[in-house]
């Protein structure tokens, strides 16, 4: 199955053979994981019947209905961390990801791995994780068709809080210094230089600090 670069990267980051994909949409990720043998027990969920129906058809056409279960549920409702060690939430805004985790926080804290890929507001997700008993074990960043994507690999635990630059750009990424981050920071720096507002001047300074680290 041909899937996006982002979903491929998420699949590569999965550490456990039991995976729940929250907001699965077309079911591409669990199908891909099953086909490549990365997981032996998979759950695809969605809060809407339409997308879940598409996922079920795709799973059936791939001959994987016996490997990938589907469930109509809102967020983590009805998802048991005792059955699924890894939980993936991607393809939605950071605010929605935070709400999904907050509404079932004790349940979220019992997954062994959270793979989160917000479309926006990634700094808010990083802050939320630290405030609610998670550590960020790893982070990846990639560019696909002109759009930059972050993938956070988190687990229950505590770590020292980041400084503002770390929350905005990713402390792990600033240490790993991937090419995608360098391109992203340079692009953000150019944008910030064109906007004469105090809040953007503060962001401009953060961009300049980040670039010096890269």
pLDDT tens, position by position, 55-75: 999 999 999 999 999 999 999
pLDDT attached to residue 196: 72
CATH number given to 162-214:
1.10.287
Integer-rounded Cα Rg, in Å, for the chain is 18
pLDDT attached to residue 62: 96
pLDDT attached to residue 1: 73
pLDDT attached to residue 131: 97
Asked if residue 116 lies in contact with residue 122, where contact means CB atoms within 8 angstroms, the answer is no
Residue 177 DSSP symbol? -
Tokens of 55: 């996922």
Q: Which residues contact 53 (CB under 8 A, 6 or more apart)?
A: none
Q: Tell me how far apart the 2 most distant CA atoms of the chain are, in Å.
A: 57
Q: For the whole model, what pTM was predicted? A: 0.95
User: Mean pLDDT score of the chain, rounded to an integer?
Assistant: 95
Q: How far is CA 173 from CA 36, 71, 79, 160, in A?
A: 28, 34, 30, 16
Asked if residue 81 lies in contact with residue 111, where contact means CB atoms within 8 angstroms, the answer is yes
Q: How far is CA 167 from CA 43, 63, 78, 122, 161, in A?
A: 31, 42, 31, 8, 9
- Give the whole-number percent of the chain exceeding pLDDT 90: 92
Asked if residue 21 lies in contact with residue 14, where contact means CB atoms within 8 angstroms, the answer is no
pLDDT attached to residue 200: 78
pLDDT attached to residue 194: 85
Spans of the chain below 50 pLDDT: none
**Separation between Cα atoms, residue 59 and residue 68, nearest integer Å:** 7
**Separation between Cα atoms, residue 70 and residue 170, nearest integer Å:** 33
Domain spans of the chain?
5-160, 162-214
Residue written as token pair 């090419």:
179
CATH of 5-160, one of 3.40.50.150, 3.20.20.80, 1.20.1050.10, 3.10.180.10: 3.40.50.150
């Amino acid at each position: 199955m041909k899937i996006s670069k982002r979903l491929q990267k998420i699949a590569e980051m999965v550490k456990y053979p039991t995976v729940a994909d929250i907001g699965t949409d077309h079911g591409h990720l669990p199908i891909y994981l099953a086909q490549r043998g990365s997981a032996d027990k998979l759950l695809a969920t969605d809060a809407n019947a339409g997308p879940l129906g598409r996922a079920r058809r795709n799973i059936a056409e791939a001959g994987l209905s016996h490997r990938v279960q589907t469930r109509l549920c809102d967020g983590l409702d009805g998802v048991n961390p005792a059955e699924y060690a890894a939980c993936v939430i991607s393809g939605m805004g950071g605010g929605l990801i935070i709400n999904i985790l907050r509404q079932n926080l004790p349940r979220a804290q019992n997954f062994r791995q959270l793979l989160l890929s917000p479309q926006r507001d990634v700094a808010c997700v990083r802050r939320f994780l630290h405030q609610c008993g998670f550590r960020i074990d790893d982070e990846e960043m990639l560019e696909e068709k002109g759009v930059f994507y972050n993938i956070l690999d988190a687990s229950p635990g505590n770590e020292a809080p980041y400084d503002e630059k770390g929350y905005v750009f990713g402390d792990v990424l600033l240490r790993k210094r991937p090419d995608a981050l360098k391109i992203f920071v340079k692009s953000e720096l150019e944008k910030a230089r064109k906007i004469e507002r105090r809040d953007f001047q503060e962001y401009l300074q953060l961009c300049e600090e980040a670039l010096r680290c890269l």
